[in-house]
Structures are given as C-alpha cells and as structure tokens.
A and B are shown apart, each in its own frame.
Chain A
Amino acid sequence: MKAKDVPQDDANMLQGKLREPIYSLDENGNYTTVQSVGWNPKNEVMKEAWDQVNEKVENARKKVLSGELSPLAYYIEKNIMDIGLVANYMGIWRWTVKRHLKPKFFARLKEETLEKYARVFNITKEQLIDTNLLKSEK
C-alpha cells in the first residue's frame, strides 16, 4: 500500500484517543508509517462485533426486567464477560454464579457478596440491586 492511499475513514471507533500507525510505502519505495483514524471495512466488522454484544446486553436487560434473571445477567453481558470469567474474578465456582443468576437466590445474597460482585463490575452495590436503573438504560 502506498502512503498516500492509507485510508482515513473516521467512524469514531478510536474516539480521538489515538491514531494507529499503518506501514506503507512512500513515493521512493521506502517503508514509512502513516497515522490512520480508521478504515471502512475494519469499522464495519468492529461495528458488527459490537452489535452482537449490544444485542446480548439488550436481551439480558429484558430478562432482568421481566424477573426471569437477576441483575447479574445484565452486568455480565454489559461488561462483555461470561459466567466463567465472573466466577474467576469472584473466586467462586461457576455453578454458584449460575445460581445467583436466578432472582430467588440473588435476593438472598449476603451484603459482602453483593459488594464483591459490584466491585467486579465497577459499580456500587446499590446500583447492582436497583433494577429500576435498567428501565431507562438503552
């Protein structure tokens, strides 16, 4: 690829936090790097991957609001985690986390367990248990 052809298709993927160096050839056939803010095909596949994540988050949100699952389900998806990873962070078994996904068991959790979950998701305990917050969440 020629340096002058390095694409600059900005889809705000990098939020202005950085530009990525792309190795390319200058007019004398020497390699050089050009900073790029993005490229359409790449933006497209990244968007698709995030659409998938957001879809899962939305599904979880609905299930939490309908009372089918505990708020944990929402925050697991929101943080792009899975049960295994959460169990890992919590230092507990997977099946324990699975149990806590059921509202019945979630309601019986100790304060300190709730605190610990909240820390994993980087929120407060109050935010974790307040399902009203999810109503406005999009």
Chain B
Amino acid sequence: MDQPIEFQHKQSAHCENGVVSNLLRFYGINLSEPMVFGIGSGLFFSHMPFLKVGGIPVTSFRPLPGIIFKRTSRRLGISFERKKFRNPKKAMEALDNNLNQGIPTGMLVGVYNLSYFPDAYRFHFNAHNLVAFRKENNTYQISDPVMEGYEQLTYDELLRVRYAKGIFAPNGHMYWVKNIPKNIHLEQAILKGIKQTCKDMLTIPIPLFGVRGIRYLSRKVRNYPRKLGVRKAASYTGQIVRAQEEIGTGGAGFRFMYGAFLQEAAQILNKPVLRDLSIELSGIGDLWREFAVITGRIVKNRNSLDESYDKAADLLLVIADREEAFFKKLKLAVS
C-alpha cells in the first residue's frame, strides 16, 4: 500500500488529543499529544455512583468528551468550523466536499462498528474522534489517532459509525480548522490550562470530583464487598481500572501523560520546578498502577471473598493525599 504523504499521522494514546495534534500539524503547528492534553486541562477525576454504564457506576479520569478539544482551541485562539446533519447522505456529501478541497476533516464516530478496532474495545462508545483526509473509489483514507498507521473505511462503513445511536450520538458531527491566528501565545495557554486543572482537582465543592472524589471512591470501595457481594464488588472495582488503563490514557489514568506535559511546559516556560513536579507525578501514577495490580488480583479471585478491598481503599487515600499536595505545589508554581 502506498503511504499517503499529504496528512501526517501520529499515533496517540487518547483520540481527542490526537486528532487536535494531528490536525494542527497539517497546518504547521507542532504540538505534542501531552501539550494538547495539558492546555485543554484533560486531567481530572470523578466518581459518579448514580451515573451507570452497563449497570456499573462511572469513574472517570478525564472531563466529558469534547471538553479538551474545546478548551485547547479556545486557549490557542484556533477556530474550528463544526457541523451536524439530520440527513446521513448530506453529512457524507459535506465530507466529500471538504476532501475535494483538500481539507482534512475530523469526525465524531461510534467505535462499535469500526472494523479495524480490536474486538475487546468494540463497545457502544460514541465519542471517538478520527480524521478523513482523502477519498478514492468510495474508500476514505482515515487517520485514527489510537491506531499505529493509516486505516481505510468504505462509504457505508463510515456512514454507519457516523450515525451510531445511543448516548453522545454523533449525528454526523464533523469539524475542521477554520482559522489559525498568526501568533499563538503558547505560554499563556499552558498557564491557563495548568491553573484550571489545579482548580478542578482541588476546589470543586462537590465531593464527587477531584481529590475529594478519590476519597469518596475509597469509602465506596471499602464497602463494596459487604454491600454488593463478591461478584458485583469485583465488577465495580474492575471498572475503575478499566477507566484508568483502557485505550487512551497513556497509563495510570492520564497521570503519566500529564507528567510528560509538565516536563515540556517546564522548558517552554523556563520553570525548572515543573520538571521536578513531572517526576513526582510519575511516582503518583505508579501508585495508581499499584491500585490496578491489587484490583487485578481481586478480579481474578472474584468468586471468593478477597481481603484486599481494604488495601485498595487505603491506597486510594494515600493517592488522594499525594495528589492534593501535588496540585497545591503545582498551583503555587504557576501563580
């Protein structure tokens, strides 16, 4: 297969960062995935017991889909054109129109029917991002940020995923770069991004979010085996680790990726303290990984009562303390 050269694809851990990073590179702006993630304040924590997916409460290490995208473009002053369509045929026509003009176009899609995805990741998640950059004989050349190389989708396949149904139904949503300012104020954008993350992690006055959310989850996990029974307790705890490690986090619930961002930021802002903090965050990420190890064991022995729930809950408290101290230091470093 000949490699298309007009759109340079780079794999990323997370689709939203990856699409923004890849689209901007096309227009000559080189921002790494961690950069986009950090400017968009992608790091977060929330545990929402009343919001259930597949019957299991949602734990998330990132804000709602679309938010990173929105914040990053706003902070860099880049404007995107966005469109949704009732009529699937019109949505495909509009895409073809864009591609004819050589405009790489981002789209929201559902992953369930993405043929190139591994089966284990094909569930009904509708806020995945990818870019189409060329059409040939009814086949679209696709740059999907989580894949290593270029992919292809036929007209019918693409139409199907653009019109996936359910929560966050994309409705043919597509977007492309409209305007890039002459001067991009990267330093300012980075500072804004960091400040918001500190705020999100430390000061939201609802106990489900940020550091308080981690403590809340710790209490929940401690009670899971008593309240839910062994099987369900294992599923609930396993779900936390799935959110933490499954496709798109770069490891440890985005903590490692955010570390990479801080390290880059240290250089751009000329603040060596951020580099020290980036190493510290890698250590906190290691604690999250340890939590995953304990959970993995719980899930493996799911048919017998496992005594590790207390250990897991204790570890979450340690993580919460470490993150609280960490984000206080980070806040100080950028104020």
Residues of A within 8 A of B (CB): 1, 6, 13-15, 17-25, 29-31, 33, 35, 39-42, 44-46, 48-50, 52, 79-81, 84-85, 88-89, 122
Q: Are A85 and B279 in contact, CB atoms less than 8 angstroms apart?
A: no
Q: How far is the CB of B282 from chain A (nearest CB, A)?
A: 6
Complex contacts, B241 vs chain A, CB 8 Å: 41-42, 45
Task: Encode contact with A along B285-325: 1 for CB under 8 Å, 0 otherwise.
Answer: 11001001101110110100000000000000000000000
Complex Cα distance, B124 from A47, in Å, reads: 17
| B235 at the binding interface (Cβ < 8 Å) | yes
Q: How far is the CB of A31 from chain B (nearest CB, A)?
A: 4
Q: Which residue of B12, B246, B289 is within 8 Å of A1 (Cβ)? A: B289
Q: How many residues on the B side are at the interface (Cβ–Cβ under 8 A)?
A: 51
Q: What is the predominant secondary structure among interface residues of chain B facing chain A?
A: helix
Residues of B within 8 A of A (CB): 11-13, 34, 112-113, 116-121, 123-124, 146-148, 165-166, 169, 234-235, 238-239, 241-242, 245-247, 250-252, 256-257, 259-260, 263, 278-279, 282, 285-286, 289, 292-293, 295-297, 299-300, 302
Q: List 21 A-B contacts (CB under 8 A).
A: A1-B252, A13-B118, A15-B118, A15-B119, A18-B118, A18-B147, A22-B250, A22-B251, A23-B13, A24-B251, A25-B282, A31-B256, A31-B263, A31-B278, A41-B293, A42-B242, A48-B299, A49-B238, A50-B120, A88-B165, A88-B166
4 tightest A-B CB contacts, nearest first? A41-B296, A23-B256, A31-B260, A45-B238
Q: Are B165 and A48 in contact, CB atoms less than 8 angstroms apart?
A: no
Q: Are B299 and A44 in contact, CB atoms less than 8 angstroms apart?
A: yes
Q: Are B120 and A31 in contact, CB atoms less than 8 angstroms apart?
A: no
Given contacts A22-B251, A88-B165, contact A1 B299 (CB under 8 A): no
